[in-house]
């Protein structure tokens, strides 16, 4: 197998090749231009690499316009791919309006995938105003661009946190089963920002006929996660790699909903073409639903073969850690599956693939330090 899009990560390259050969309706994307915001994020970067892989394997001739803030991150993440003919990067702060002076305004854009967002819980607590502004102002700016360009379709990447604390008696939580969010809790800047951005999408769809769809994403991880990532799933994986115990700072009672990166990218590209305007779709693997505690124990016992254990170190003051409220929620993805999508990678395989990928990243970082 040729490692073209990911020369240092064979696991991720396998995933990209799989995406290119999946049931995405590529014929509708052929010869079109797709704008991807949040280009250096986990999902945004993999969408871009997957589209480049489609160009190579399926001759789709898709032009990709990528929007990012950091030239350094783009260089680190895309390297030699920056020379690809069909990939163009623009650098801007998404909170700033897109004016007639912005170079992107001269581009012809057919589709938009809007993934620019803050994902770090500690940032939510320390910079709640900025978190809200990135959600609201950033999404408003991209929706205005979508309106002006008369795009064929747009997908907004929302989050399962938009559900809030739902009714714990529900067997499955569907798109309409929204729960409670404490709007005076600073941590709610993220979840409430996502809710308002969803409302903004629905409003643009209604008032201006912008064909935007909303993807409510479960927590997504898998191949392509950097070794420097610090979210809980990455911490668990690094404990396996480094043979250190998993340390939980809560009782781990909250239920998590998860989806493997490759499955999520396929879902988003299907939604881009097949979704209904102004509607929300949950992207989650229904079988990957478990408590944080049970997931930690699964990783320690089944992924690390019992060579590490789970220990608890619960601080008296948890506010500064930025944890979301404990929830008991099992997301339904039946609406998304009705479009022809089916998640394939379960939680255990997701960890195995992520760990192999992170080991490649760790090796790369080690080699850079030596140089």
CATH of the domain at 216: 3.40.50.720
Q: Where are the alpha helices (DSSP H) in 243-346?
A: 261-274, 292-298, 334-337
Kindly state whether residue 161 falls inside one of the protein's structural domains: yes
* pLDDT above 80 (res 128): yes
Which ranges in 32-183 belong to alpha helices (H)?
42-58, 71-78, 121-126, 128-149
Which of the four pLDDT bands, split at 50, 70 and 90, describes residue 182? very high
CB 108, CB 149: distance < 8 Å: yes
In this structure, the number of other CB atoms found within 10 A of the CB of residue 287 comes to 10
Q: Tokens standing for 216?
A: 């409510």
Q: What is the average per-residue pLDDT within 97-121?
A: 94
| Stronger pLDDT, 315 or 90, i.e. the higher one | 90
Residue 230 lies in a domain: no
User: What is the rounded distance in angstroms from the CA atom of residue 337 to the CA atom of residue 281?
Assistant: 9
Instruction: Take residue 302 and report the two structure tokens written for it.
Output: 């089944």
108 CB-contact burial (10 Å; exposed 0-12 / middle 13-18 / buried 19+): exposed
Q: Is residue 320 part of a domain?
A: no
Cβ neighbours of residue 2 under 8 Å, at least 6 residues apart?
A: 13
* Residue pLDDT, tens place only, 206-245: 999 999 999 999 999 999 999 999 889 999 999 999 999 9
Q: Does any domain span residue 250?
A: no
What average pLDDT does range 278-283 have in this prediction? 98
- For residue range 301-347, what is the model confidence (pLDDT) as tens digits? 999 999 999 999 988 765 545 566 778 999 999 999 999 999 999 99
Burial 223-255 (b: 16+ CB within 10 A, else e): bbbbbebeebbbbbbbbbeeeeebebebebebb
135 domain-assigned: yes
Residue with the bigger pLDDT between 184 and 321: it is 184
316 in a domain, yes or no? no
* 143: containing domain: 10-223+257-290+328-347
* 300 is a domain residue: no
Domain count, the chain: 1
| Position 279 in a domain | yes
For helices 10-20 and 347-370, give the axis angle rounded to 10 degrees.
Answer: 130
């Amino acid at each position: 197998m040729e490692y073209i899009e990911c020369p240092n990560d064979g696991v991720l390259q396998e995933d990209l090749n799989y995406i290119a050969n999946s049931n995405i309706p590529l014929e509708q994307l052929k010869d079109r231009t797709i704008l991807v915001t949040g280009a250096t994020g986990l999902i945004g970067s993999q969408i871009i690499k997957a589209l480049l892989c489609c160009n190579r394997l399926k001759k789709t001739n898709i032009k990709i316009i990528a929007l990012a803030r950091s030239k350094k991150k783009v260089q680190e993440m895309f390297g030699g791919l920056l020379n690809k003919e069909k990939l163009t990067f623009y650098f801007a702060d998404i909170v700033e309006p897109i004016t007639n002076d912005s170079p992107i305004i001269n581009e012809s854009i057919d589709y938009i995938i809007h993934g620019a967002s803050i994902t770090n819980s500690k940032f939510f607590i320390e910079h709640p105003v900025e978190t809200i502004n990135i959600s609201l102002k950033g999404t408003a700016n991209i929706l205005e661009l979508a309106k002006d360009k008369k795009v064929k379709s747009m997908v907004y990447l929302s989050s399962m946190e938009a559900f809030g604390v739902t009714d714990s008696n529900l067997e499955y939580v569907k798109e309409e089963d929204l729960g409670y969010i404490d709007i005076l809790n600073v941590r709610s800047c993220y979840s409430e920002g996502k809710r308002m951005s969803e409302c903004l999408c629905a409003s643009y769809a209604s008032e201006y006929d912008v064909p935007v769809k909303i993807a409510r994403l479960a927590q997504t991880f898998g191949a392509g996660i950097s070794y420097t990532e610090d979210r809980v799933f990455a911490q668990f994986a690094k404990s396996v790699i480094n043979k250190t115990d998993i340390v939980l700072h809560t009782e781990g009672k909250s239920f998590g909903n998860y989806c493997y990166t490759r499955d999520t990218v396929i879902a988003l590209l299907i939604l881009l073409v097949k979704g209904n305007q102004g509607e929300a779709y949950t992207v989650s693997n229904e079988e990957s639903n478990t408590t944080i505690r049970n997931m930690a124990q699964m990783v320690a016992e089944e992924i690390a073969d019992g060579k590490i254990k789970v220990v608890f170190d619960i601080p008296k003051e948890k506010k500064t850690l930025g944890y979301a409220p404990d929830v008991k929620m099992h997301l339904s993805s039946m609406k998304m599956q009705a479009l022809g999508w089916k998640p394939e990678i379960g939680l255990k395989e997701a960890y195995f693939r992520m760990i192999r990928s992170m080991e490649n990243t760790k090796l790369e970082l080690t080699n850079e330090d030596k140089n």
